[in-house]
Structure 1
Amino acid sequence: MKRLFCIAASCLLAVAATAQTLVTTPIMGFLTLNLQAGTNFMGFALLPSMELQAVVNISPGDRTHVFVQGAPQVALTDNQFNPGALPSHTIEIVSAGTGLGFTSAIVDTLATGNEIVLADAIPAGVLDGATIKIWKLWTLADAFGADNSAGLTGGQTPETADLIQLPNGSGFDEFFYSTGGAQGIGWRQVGQGTANQASVPLEFSGGIAIRARSPKSIVIVGQIKPGKTMITLQTGNNFVANLCPVNASGDTPSTEGRTLGNSGLQAGLTGGIASTQADLVLIWNGQGYSQYYYSTGGLPGQGWRRIGGGVTDQSGVALPDGAYIIFRRGAPVQIQVNQGNF
C-alpha cells in the first residue's frame, strides 16, 4: 500500500472564549490500497475531515461532559455530532500532557451550554482550557462510496463479493456491497438481510480486514491526523491501525515512518525477560505472523526481540502500512502511540 500526501490550502477555524482564533491547515492526502486476493489487513492513516478545533471546560461532576468555549461565535446545534443511532464523530485531546491523544466517540451534542457528551470519561490529568479536535469517523459509504465507487467486487451474495471484516471483540462482523437480487442494492451485513449498512462506522485507530476475491487497487482521500494517539487495548487480540501516513519500508521509505523502535509501543506494553510474560506485536509476513515483544533483560537482553530470533535487535522492523495485532496478556489498558509529526 503506497501512501502519498499533500498540503491543503484551506483552513479550519474555531474561536476560543478569549476570542482568539485557533487556525489549523489540514494536511490532505490519499492512500492507494493495493489488495491481493485473499485476506488483507488494513488501517486508514487518513480521516474524512476535522470539523472543529476549540477550547473546552470539563464538568467536575461527570468527566464525560465537556463544554465548548467561544459562544456566540461557536454555537453548537442539537445532535450536531451525533445525527444518527451509530457513532459518527470522535473527540481528540490535543493539549500537551497525560491526556494527549485521548479519543472518545461523541454520543450527544446539546445546543444549550455548547455541551458535548462522550462515551468515555476525559482523563483526570486534562484540565479546563484543554484544546480538542472533533473528527468525523469513516463509514462504509464514506470510505468505499455509497454506490461502491471505490471498486470493490460486489455480488448478489456474500460468497461472490469482497468482504469487509470489522472486529467486534469476539470475531468479525462482515459486510459486502450487494448488486441486487434478494438483498437489494447497497451495503449489507452478512446474516442481516436487506438492512442498509452504509452508515456503519469504522473504529477510530482500529484495523480492519478485507477479503478480496481478486487483486485490485482502491484510493482513499482524507486528512492526516498528526501527533500522538491513545488507544485502548483489551485482553487478548487487538487490531490496531498504523496511523502514520508515510512508510518506514518499501519503495519510498521515510525516516518519519513508524517502526517498533519509534512507535512508542514499548512505553505502554508489558515487557518481560521471556515472550511468555510480555505483550506481543504480531505482523503479517505473507504466510503467517512474525511475533515481537519488548525484552526487559535476561538472556535475550533489553530491547525489541522476535520470537525465534534470539538476541537480534528488532527495533528497526517497520510497522505495516495497514494494520497489525497487539496481543495483550494483562487487564485492559490505554497506551499512547506516536505516528509522527506532519
Structure 2
Amino acid sequence: MKKLLHMATFGVLAATGLLQAQVTSPIMGFLTLHLQEGTNFIGFALLPTMEMQSSFNISPTDRKIVFLQGGPNLSLADNQFSPGPLATHAVEIVSSGAGQGFTSIVTATLAAGNQLTLQEEVPAGVADGASLKVWRLWTLADVFGADNSAGLAGGETPGQADLILLPNSTGFDKYFYSTGGAQGVGWRQVDGGTTDQADVPVFVSEGAAIIARAAKSVVVIGQVKPGVTKVSLQTGNNYVANLCPVNAAGEGASVEGRTLGNSGLAEGMAGGTASSLADLVLLWNGSGYDQYFNSTGGPLGAGWRKVGAGSTDQSSVPLPDGAYIILRRGAPVMITLNQGSF
C-alpha cells in the first residue's frame, strides 16, 4: 500500500494568543507527504490553527445562524472568519451528542451578537449552550508555500508541473505552480488564466490528489483535530481524508491507527449481501483500486469483505494515511468517523 504521510512525535503546547471563550491545549505535530511519481491521494490529518472555542446559541428562525457566548472576553469583528469570496474558516461542534463532529464552512461573520452564519444547518438535537471550535482552513499557499517553497515541480504550462486536484461536484479543479509564461508566476488553476489561486482552501475531511512528475516529500506542521468527525457523503464518489494522526501500519504503526474495522464506516455506510448492493470503500494500490464493502450476510458472511476475495475478513485492513474514496450508491447521508482518542 502506498504510504503518503508519517506522523512524528506530538508535543502538548499551551493555547496562547487565541481568541477564545474557553481554554484549550492543542496537540501539535508534523506529517510528511511522501509523494511517488504519478497519482497520490492525500489528506491532512492536521489542521492549521484552532482560533476559537466557545459555547453558542442557535437562531430560533434559522439553524444556519449561531451566536457565540463568551461575555466581555469575546468580541467578533465583521467578516473576521469570512473576509472574502473564498472560505477561510469552518466550525466544528465538539459537545457530546448527536451533533458532535459536525463541521461547516463559515459564510458570514457579524460583530453584532457575535454572529456566525454557516453553510449548513446545525443538526437537529443540538441545543443552545453547546460548544464549537473555529478552525482556519488550509490553503494552497499554507501547505505548499506562497512561492512553492515545498518544492513541487513548477512550469510555464500544466503539462510541465505537478498538479494538485481538489474535488468538486463533478470532478476535480486542477492547480499548479506557474513559473512564468502566459499565466505569470504563482499558483494558478488549469485554464484559469492569471488569477492568483494561493488562497484556495482545502476543506476539513476532504481528500485530494497530487499528480507528481517525480518522487518527493512535503512536510506539513499543524494541530490535531481530536474527537469524531461527521462527513456528508453524496451519491457517487466521495474523497475522504484520513484524519487520524497516527498510522495503522508501516513505520510508527499504532493501535490507534484507523482500519476498516475501527473507523466507524460500517455504522454509516450501506451494507449488503453482495458488493453491488453496498457502498464501497476504494483504496488506491498504486495502479488501481482495492474495493471493500460491509457484508451483511449471505454466502460471504457478515463483516468487511474485499471484492473478489471471498469470505476472508478484512476488518484489519488499514485505511491509507492520506485519503480514500467512498462510493455512495444511495441518497446523501451523514456518517461519523472515529479517528481515535487524542
TM-score tier by shorter-chain length is: over 0.9
TM-score, reference length from structure 2:
0.97
Counterpart selection for 2:14 from 10, 15, 20: 10
- The answer to whether the Cα contact below 8 Å between 2:109 and 2:117 also exists between their aligned partners in 1 is yes
2:172, 2:114 → 1: CA distance? 37
SS at match of 1:113: helix
Check conservation: 2:283, 2:320, Cα contact below 8 A: yes
Structure 2 equivalent of residue 323 of structure 1: 323
Give me the TM-score of the superposition, normalised by structure 1.
0.97
Structure 1 counterpart SS, 2:276:
helix
Provide Cα deviations, 1:91-134, integer angstroms capped at 9, x if missing partner: 00000001010000000000000100001000011010001000
Counterpart residue identity of residue 283, structure 1: L
Task: After TM superposition, give the deviation of residue 183 of structure 1 in Å.
Answer: 1.1
1:78-117 map, 5 Å: 78-117=78-117
CA distance in 2, matches of 1:201, 1:11: 24
Query: How far does residue 2 in structure 1 lie from its aligned partner after superposition?
Result: 1.5
Structure 1: where are the runs of 5+ without partners?
17-21
The one-letter code of the counterpart of 1:163 is L
Q: Secondary structure at the match of 2:303?
A: strand
**Corresponding pairs, count:** 337
Q: 1:14, CA displacement in angstroms?
A: 6.0
SS in 1 for 2:154: coil
**Structure-1 residue corresponding to 2:148:** 148
| Alpha-carbon distance in 1 for matches of 2:12, 2:186 | 32
Q: In structure 1, what is the Cα distance between the partners aligned to 2:70 and 2:43?
A: 35
- Equivalent in the alignment of 1:73: 73
Aligned to 2:138: 138
Equivalent in the alignment of 1:19:
none
Moved over 3 A (4+): 12-16
Question: Once the two structures are aligned, what percentage of the paired residues are identical?
Answer: 64
- Shift, 1:323, TM fit: 0.4
1:48 paired with 2:52, answer no
CA deviation map 1:307-339 (0-9, x unaligned): 111111100000000000000000011100011
Runs of at least 5 residues in structure 2 that lack an aligned partner in the other structure: none
How far is 1:143 from its partner?
A: 1.0
* Contact residue 14 and residue 23 of structure 1 kept, 8 A: no
Alpha-carbon distance in 1 for matches of 2:180, 2:141: 17
In 2, Cα distance between equivalents of 1:323 and 1:5? 21
Rounded Cα–Cα distance in structure 1 between residues aligned with 2:219 and 2:134: 24
Alpha-carbon contact 2:242-2:321 (below 8 Å) kept: yes
User: Structure 2: how far apart are the matches of 1:15 and 1:141?
Assistant: 26
Shift of 1:180: 1.1
Partner of 1:164: 164
SS at the partner of 2:282? strand
Give the whole-Å Cα distance in 2 for the aligned partners of 1:236 and 1:165. 18
CA contact (8 A) 1:236 1:329 kept: yes
Assess if the C-alpha contact under 8 Å between 1:14 and 1:54 holds in 2: no
SS in 1 for 2:202: coil
* Structure 2 counterpart of 1:181: 181
Amino acid at match of 2:113: G
Going from structure 1 to structure 2, the CA distance change for 1:215 and 1:129 (only over 3 Å counts) comes to same
Query: Which secondary structure does the structure 2 equivalent of 1:4 belong to?
Result: coil
Query: In structure 2, the residue corresponding to 1:199 is in which secondary structure?
Result: coil
